[in-house]
Each structure stands twice: as structure tokens, then as C-alpha cells.
Amino acid sequence: MGPVRASGFARRHGGDLAVEQNGGCAQPRCEEVGGDVAELQALCARMRAASLREPPPPLRERRVRLDALRGAIAARREEIADKIDADFGGRSRHETLLAEVWLTLSSIAHARSHLRAWMRPERRPVNWPFRPARARVIPGPKGVVGIIAPWNYPFSLAMIPFASAIAAGNRVILKPSEFAPRTAALIARIVGEALPPECAAVVTGGADVGAALSRLPLDHLFFTGSARVGAEILREASANLTPVTLELGGKSPAILAEGFPLDVFARRVAAGKLFNAGQTCVAPDYVLAPEDAVAPLVAALRASIARLYPSLRRNPDYTAIINDAHIARLKAYLADARERGAEVIIIDPAGEGPLDDVRKLAPALLCNAPPEARVMQEEIFGPLLPIVGYRGLDAAIAYVNARPAPLALYCFDRDARRVEDILARTRSGT
């Protein structure tokens, strides 16, 4: 007998939460449930009861689940790209296949191949007051895990932590982003094909559903998103002392050191910044460059961006901004920076003008933006790149350290010792 393929997931209908369960052979059926908080609590209670009733899944069962998940994703890779493209209103297909599909499949394969070693108990030395006791670390499932995923990579940033939690033997409640509803619905169908309902559920809805999920007595909660929302999630979860992992964003600097080739720096930063139109948590958020290199760097960046994207409006490789609210936010950054005296350089290689009708925003370089400008205070998450001049590497390091620790830091230097010095004197990471 093959594995039973079923899953539970939820959709918003007005103020209610509807829970659907799909059997591998049966047609989908929908059960209307009033009161989303009560239904989420019941779902969590059912999963916890199942985790206490049944032993942790053995290696073979976990691999079967991962194989089923990987197979369902691989079979729908083109549909995944279609749904994400529709949610964005235009998403680079090769970027989607790379960052959403291939990355997820490779992460599942990695977990599967290392799972036996990860599950193996490890001995630990015992200090003499505790002898003759023996100590071992025995890996095991935490229980019921909640995952709240972001919109910028709506498939991979939902499914990679989901697959990791499944590999660890947990039961999972996953909430995809409401800003990518087509992708969220497809995730629910994929989970429904691959996993039994007592193992995993997908709940969809807005911020209220995410808040309700974070208030559940989960055994662990994993959140990817902004620091502002992360603080709210942490506050909600603290009532139950739920352990929380926050994968947050930040303003990640790219430091150009003296003597590093400008054309190489410009090519690499332009590619990293404009992948997914800058809607990436580890995208370079701003550049720190020697003061005398700012002008030639602007020219090099303009040339590199024009080579990457000779046109924007009908270019399928230049991704749209996820929704009108984020377009408005990015335009507000530009207006605020101009009002504060920044030089804003719009890069429109084909002279296409405003791109509002296709919900795209042309790349822009910002020079001399003051520290109090919004674009220098908030994570950008778009195709805007401020350039800050510095005098001496110590000044660049001081600039980074005067701000909250970024998620990533990029140092472009051919001097390995200087790179190590920068890394030792700065902090970065989630």
C-alpha cells in the first residue's frame, strides 16, 4: 500500500476560517468553521495529541515524506513559476526556477542525504562531579512547529523551513504570505498531495491569522520577515514562552575598498541588488565607497545595470514590485530623499518613462542622502541603491557599527588581511 496523501489547509472567507482536507483520491471538500482562533487552537491541539500519542517518525518514514514532498514540487515546477509570476504581476522566470524551485528541491535533497547523521545520538564528556553518569545529545522532534513565511520568495521561504521541520520529525502548521495568494493556494495543494493531515497543515489569511498562529502554545515558531513584524510575533509568542526563531532583514552594506576594480564591483552589486528587483533580504541595501570613487562608481553602475536590463517595461527578466503599497513606499523614499537634498539618478536605459502600468520601478542610485532620510533608516526592499562616501576604512567600519547589525555584509577587497579586519570589527547576521 502506497503512502496516504492528504493534508489540511485553510482559506479566509470573510471573517471565518475554512478548513479543507484533500485526500489522495477524493475530491477536495470544504468545511466552514466560524472563528479562526478556535479552529487554529483545535488544529494545534489535534497535532499535539498525535505527537504525544505516536513515537517520533523513524528515518525511513521521514525520507518517504521528504521524497513525496520533493516529487510533488518537481512535478509542478512550471506551475509554481506561473503562480509566482501572477502574484508579482511579472516575475523573472529563470530567477523563480533558481531561487524558488531549484533551491527548495536541493534543500530537501540535502536534508534527506544528511538525515541519518543528524538523527544519530552524540556522546558528550562528563565532568568529574557527575561521574559515573554518561551524557548524550539525542536529537528528536520538538513537537508542533509553526512557520510564518514572507512574500518576497513566497515558495522557497515557506517550503524550505517547512521541509526542515518535517525532516526533524515535527508536525507543522505553515502560514504562507497573504501577498502571494495564488502561490499560497498552490503550496496547500502540494502539501495536500504529499503529506498526511495529522503531519502538516497550511493556513492562509492576513496578519490576523499570523497573530493568532503566534499565540498558539506551539513547541517552536519560525518567522521570516521584517524586524517590526518580528517584534510583534515575539511579543505574541512570549505569553506561552514559545521558543522563536526570527530570520529578519536589515540594511546590508556593500563596502568597496580602495583599489578594488570598479567594473567588477559594479557588475556584482548590480546583479545582487536587482535580482528580484531588490526584493531580497540579503540584497545590498547601500554602498560604502571611498569619496573619490563615488563619481566613477556611479558611471560603472549605470553601465552595468544597462547591460543587465537594456529595457524594463516589457523585459520579462526585470521583476515587478509585489503590490501597489510597496510601489508607493519606494516612491516615498525617493521623494523624501530628494526633499532632503539627495541626488537621485534614475536608470532607464530605453527611455521608457514611468512604469506604473506594469507595477515596476526603474533602478535608482541615490548620492548624498542624509542619515535621517527614510531610505537610510529603513530596509529598502526594492531597486534603490544609496551610495555613501567615506574617508578611510575606519570611517566605513564606524558607519556600519553605528547602525543595527545587518543581515549580511559584503566586503570587496583583494587584501585578505583587510577583509578579516573588517569582518572582525563589524557584526552581521540574523
How many Å separate Cα 186 from the centre of its chain? 18
Regarding the domain delimited by 7-248, which CATH topology (the fold level of the hierarchy) does it fall under?
Answer: Aldehyde Dehydrogenase; Chain A, domain 1 (3.40.605)
Name the average pLDDT for the chain. Answer: 91
Residue 13 pLDDT more than 90? Answer: no
Distance CA(256)–CA(267), nearest Å, equals 13
C-alpha grid cell, residue 64: 518517504
CA distances from 89 to 99, 158, 192, 277, 383 (A): 17, 20, 26, 13, 16
pLDDT tens digit string along 223-233? 999 999 999 99
pLDDT tens per residue, range 219-261: 999 999 999 999 999 999 999 999 999 999 899 999 999 999 9
Residue 9 has pLDDT above 80, yes or no: no
- Which burial class, exposed, middle or buried, applies to 340 when counting CB atoms under 10 A from its CB (0-12, 13-18, 19+)? middle
Q: Are 89 and 359 in contact (CB under 8 A)?
A: yes
pLDDT single digits (tens) 309-320 = 999 999 999 999
Average pLDDT of 47-69?
96
Task: Return d(Cα 430, Cα 420) in angstroms, integer.
Answer: 20
> Residue 116: which region, alpha, beta or left (left: phi > 0; alpha: psi -120 to 50)?
alpha
Q: How much is the average pLDDT of 358-370?
A: 98
Q: In this predicted model, what pLDDT tens digit does every residue of 200-212 receive, in sequence order?
A: 999 999 999 999 9
- 283-305 per-position pLDDT tens digit: 999 999 999 999 999 999 999 99
The confidence score (pLDDT) of residue 36 equals: 73
- Residue 370 main-chain phi, psi, to 5 deg: -70, 155
pLDDT band at 430 (very low <50, low <70, confident <90, very high): low
Domain 7-248 matches domain 253-425 at the CATH topology level: no
pLDDT score of 83: 98
**Residue spans per domain, the chain:** 7-248, 253-425
Residue 399 has pLDDT above 70, yes or no: yes
Give residue 379's pLDDT band: very low, low, confident or very high (50, 70, 90).
Answer: very high
**pLDDT band, very low/low/confident/very high, at 134 (cuts 50, 70, 90):** very high
Q: In 3D, which of 363, 351, 247, 218 has the Cα closest to residue 302?
A: 363
Nearest residue to 86 (alpha-carbon basis) of 4, 23, 154, 18: 154
Question: Which is it for strands 253-256 and 410-412: parallel, antiparallel or unpaired?
Answer: parallel
Q: Which comes out higher in pLDDT, residue 18 or 281?
A: 281
Confidence (pTM): 0.89
Distance CA 427, CA 403 (A): 10
Per-residue pLDDT band at 38 (split at 50, 70, 90) = confident
366-394 burial, b for 16+ CB within 10 Å, e for fewer? bbbbeeebbbbebbbbbbbbbbbbbeebe
- Is residue 324 predicted with pLDDT exceeding 70? yes
What residues are annotated to the active site? 247, 281
Helices 156-167 + 103-119 axis angle, to 10: 20
Q: In which band, very low, low, confident or very high, does the pLDDT at 37 lie, cut at 50, 70 and 90? A: confident
Residue with cell 568597496: 256
Q: How confident is the model at residue 327 (pLDDT cuts 50, 70, 90)?
A: very high
Give the CATH number of domain 253-425. 3.40.309.10
Asked if pLDDT for residue 371 goes beyond 90, the answer is yes
Taking 50 as the threshold, does the pLDDT of residue 16 lie above it?
A: no
Instruction: Say if residue 394's pLDDT is above 80.
Output: yes
